[in-house]
Amino acid sequence: MSTGGLAVAGLGIVAPGVCRPDDALAPADEAVPGWFQAGSALPGRGYRRLPDACKYLLAASRLAVGDAGDRLSRTAREHRAAVVAINNTGAALMEELDRTIMRDGAAEMSPSSSPYIAMSCFASRLSVEHGITGFSLTVNSPVTAGLEALQLAARAVAADRARTVLVGAVEEALSPSQATAPGSEAGAVVLYCESAAGGRARYGTCRVRSAFLDPAAAASGAAAVFAPLLGDAPPCRIDAVLDDSAVGTAAARWLDQLTGEHDVVIVPAPAQAGCLTPLRRVLGLLAQERGAPARHLVLAASAQGTVTCAELTLAPHRAVGTGGAEAPSV
């Protein structure tokens, strides 16, 4: 299934070790304590007691909206929308709230963080921050949710349900008791998007396609899924975010056939990693300085069988300024 295209006019990222959007293609750093300084990233009142993941999302959205200039302020509130991808975002918070209830009772739950038991509250808080009244949606699926958020945004814009969509992905690192292996993600990515038909594609345009590969028949069914998904003329570069499941392994083996004619970059997705990496790859590719247009593709596959790819047509532009920053240097 394919949708209409989006034009990307603003980039924002908050992640450990990332100081600029064009740093986003570097391997993700571990989220060590203190990496994010909320007072610098979110000056003002009303943010201190929010969950960390919500702070990441709001900080990245400020960067994306600022990077797009005055475009949001010139868009009517009812024509603004938000689509936010999450996966592990609230896991550590819910563990903390459960511990509070068992130890101290429900009356001691924080009134600022308790609403975020409902995962839709992250997108809702983003909407409040930017005066969005069109709609807000939350996508919650392993690995692919960030690209699915782009797909949903494109569908909404094509149907004239919105003119501007903030498309984001946010994750918070799992607690030590929840993580079965290292590599859980932390941070947020936000893209400021408009219709590719009428928007100003400052960084480029994006078109998303998706399919399903039955995990039980992944080895034998890969060609039937990936050939039409990538099309007759795959882009010169393919970044594939894959785990070691049957679906991820089948995807990697199929992509091996393209090596030589295409630059295939396999990005490992550890178990429990979350959904941030694919959208981070999209932002990183859009942010790279280039003198001529280029086509790239970001593909993500989940162990459950969802396969999603974002085809990017990258616009020529100079180096990005401070559209994204690690919070301590904002």
Per-residue pLDDT tens digits for 214-233: 999 999 999 999 999 988 88
Convert the pLDDT of each residue in 279-302 to its tens digit.
Answer: 999 999 999 998 899 999 999 999
Q: Please tell me the chain's helix, strand, coil percentages from 3-state DSSP, rounded to the nearest 5.
A: 35, 25, 40
Contact 30, 16 (CB under 8 A): yes
Work out whether strand 6-14 and strand 204-212 pair parallel, antiparallel, or are unpaired: antiparallel
Residue 100's pLDDT is 76
Residue 112's pLDDT is 73
Q: pTM to 2 decimals?
A: 0.91
3-state secondary structure of 8: strand
Lookup result for tokens 């919650």: 140
Contact 85, 148 (CB under 8 A): yes
Question: C-alpha angle 286/89/129, rounded to 5°?
Answer: 70
Cα-based distances in Å from 28 to 32, 84, 231, 268: 12, 20, 30, 11
Cα-based distances in Å from 59 to 11, 12, 91, 133: 12, 8, 20, 20
Contact 257, 271 (CB under 8 A): no
Helix (H) or strand (E) holding 256: helix 246-256
CATH number at residue 197: 3.40.47.10
| Phi and psi angles of residue 193, each rounded to the nearest 5 degrees, phi first | -125, 150
Cβ-proximal residues to 66 (8 Å cutoff; 6+ apart), any chain: 10, 12, 323
Please choose, from the candidates 140, 142, 176, the residue with its C-alpha nearest in 3D space to the C-alpha of residue 300. 142
Residue 238 scores a pLDDT above 60: yes
Please choose, from the candidates 213, 207, 201, the residue with its C-alpha nearest in 3D space to the C-alpha of residue 293. 201
In angstroms, the CA 264 to CA 35 distance is 32
DSSP string of 59-123, one letter each residue: HHHHHHHHHTTTTTTTS-GGGEEEEEEESSTTHHHHHHHHHHHHHH-GGGS-TTTGGGGSTTHHH
Convert the pLDDT of each residue in 12-68 to its tens digit.
Answer: 999 999 989 999 998 888 878 788 988 889 998 889 889 999 999 999 999 999 999
Per residue in 238-276, is it b (16+ CB within 10 Å) or e — as a string? bbbbbbebbbbbbbbebbeeeeeebebebbebbebbbbb
Strand partners, 242: 268
Residue 264's pLDDT is 93
Domain count, the chain: 1
* Domain ranges, residue 134: 1-330
The mean per-residue pLDDT over the stretch 72-80 comes to 96
In angstroms, the CA 150 to CA 141 distance is 13
3-state secondary structure of 176: coil
Residue 325's pLDDT is 38
Please choose, from the candidates 288, 294, 291, 285, the residue with its C-alpha nearest in 3D space to the C-alpha of residue 313. 294
Residue 68's pLDDT is 95
In this structure, what token pair is assigned to residue 115? 């609403």
Per residue in 93-130, is it b (16+ CB within 10 Å) or e — as a string? bbeebeebeeeeeeeebeeebeebeebebbbbbbbebb
Rg (CA), the chain: 19
Residue 84's pLDDT is 97
